[in-house]
Amino acid sequence: MAEATLQNLYPSSNQINTLYTYDTVLSADSVEWCPHEPYQNFFVCGNYQLDESSKNKNTETPQKRLGRILLFSISPVNGLKLWQSLNTPGVLDQKWCHNQINGLSILGVVNSEKTLEIYKFKPQDKKLLKPLPVKFELELITSYKIVEADNSEVLMLSLDWSTGKYESQEPEIICSDSKGRWHKFMFDKTGKLILLESSFPMHSYEAWIAAFYYWNTNVFFTGADDSVLLKFDLRIGLDPVLENKTHTGGVTSIHSNAEKEHIIVTGCYDEYLRLWDIRSMKIPVGTLKMPGPLWRLKWDPFGSNYLLAACMSGGAHVVDGHNKDDLKIIESYYKHKNITYGVDWSHLNESEVNKFSYEGNRIISTCSFYDHLLCVTKLYVEDR
C-alpha cells in the first residue's frame, strides 16, 4: 500500500512530534530504553548489516554480518548525545533486565554469531587533577556461544528476561534462533551465564521470537516463520503444551502484559495484532488489522494499556489496548521510509518529559533498516 494511502487511512496527528533524528550508518533494527532511575534518559540502538565485501561466490562461507551497539542519551539541554559505539557481530535483539542486578543496569544482546552477550552499564566519574565530565559506557561482562556439531551458521534472533513482573537477582533469559529452537539461560550471582536447557528444533523455520509469560516464568511462548505459535510449560516437560496455527504468516512478536494476568499479544507478517487469554487460546480475545506486517509490539511501562507497534513497511503506531473489544490505532508515525523494525517506550515520567519541546507526556524511539534512521519523538496518550 502506498505511503500516501496509508497516511489517509491512519493519519498522523499533531500529538506526535520528532525531537531528534540520527543516521546510524549501518541498518538499524532495535531500540531499547534503560528502565532504571536515574538513567531513564539512556537507550541503545542495535545495528545489523551484511558485509558486501565478504561475499564470495566461489565458497560456501557465510557472508559476514556486521553490527554495532550505539549508546545514547537525551536531555532538554544537550539534546541527543552518542556516548559509545561498540562494533559487534550483527545485532538481532536487545533487552534490558527489568530490575537492576547488584545495583547495575544489565543489557542482554543476541547476535548473528550464535551468541548471547551480557553488558553492564557503567557511569564513570573519572577525576584526575581536575574534574572531568562523567563518562557513560557499556562493558561486556559475559557471553555464551551455542556450539553446533556441524559448525553451521546460526543466528540468535530474540531474547526476553524473566523479570517483567517479579524481580530477581538471578534472572532467566529465553532466546530463539534461526534453526527454530529455544535456549534458556540463567544469569547467576557471580555474573555468569548458565545454559539451563536447549530444545531440538520446535519450528520448521526461523523462530523469530521467544517471550516469557511474566506472571509465571515456567511458561513461555515462541513464534516462527512457519506461522506457528507454541506455548511451553516447563513444569510439565520440554515439549510444547499448545500449538496454535491461527496466524497466517510468520509470528514475529510476543509480549506478556505485566499488569493484566493471562494476557499476551502477538504480531505477525499477516498484519494482524492479536490479543490472547492464555487460559483458552482457540481464538484471540481481540484483533486489529494493522497498516503493515508487524515486527515488534511493546506494552507501555506505565500501566500496560497501550501498545507500540513497528509495522515494517507500514510505519510505527500506538494502539489503545484498554478494551479488547475496541482495539484501535490512536497515533501513527511515518518518518521512516524503509522497514520500521525497532520501537520502544522511554520510562521517563511526565515531569521529566515536560522538560522537552512540544506538548506531550510520553517519549518513544523508533528505527528503520535500509534508511538506517533513528528517531526520538514525543507524543500524548491519555492516562486513564
| pLDDT tens track for 284-335 | 999 999 999 999 999 999 999 999 999 999 999 999 999 999 999 999 999 9
How far, CA to CA in Å, does 365 sit from each of 76, 121, 183, 269, 302? 16, 19, 29, 22, 16
Q: Strand 296-299's sheet: what is its strand order?
A: 296-299, 306-310, 316-320, 328-333
Q: Alpha-carbon distance 329 to 289, whole Å?
A: 10
Distance of CA 166 to the CA centre of its chain: 19
Residue 3, pLDDT > 50, answer no
Q: Which residues pair with 229 in a beta bridge?
A: 223, 244
Q: What is the pLDDT of residue 11?
A: 55
Return the SS3 of 209: strand
- Residue 10 grid coordinates: 491512519
CATH number of 3-379: 2.130.10.10
DSSP state of 23: E
The burial class, CB within 10 Å (0-12 / 13-18 / 19+), for 102 is exposed
Q: What is the pLDDT of residue 4?
A: 46
| pLDDT tens track for 239-281 | 999 999 999 999 999 999 999 999 999 999 999 999 999 999 9
Return the SS3 of 7: helix
| pLDDT tens track for 135-183 | 899 999 999 999 988 888 999 999 999 999 999 999 999 999 999 999 9
List Cβ neighbours of 93 (8 Å cut-off, separation of 6 or more): 30, 46, 109, 110, 156, 157, 158, 159
Beta strand spans in 300-345 (E): 306-310, 316-320, 328-333, 340-345
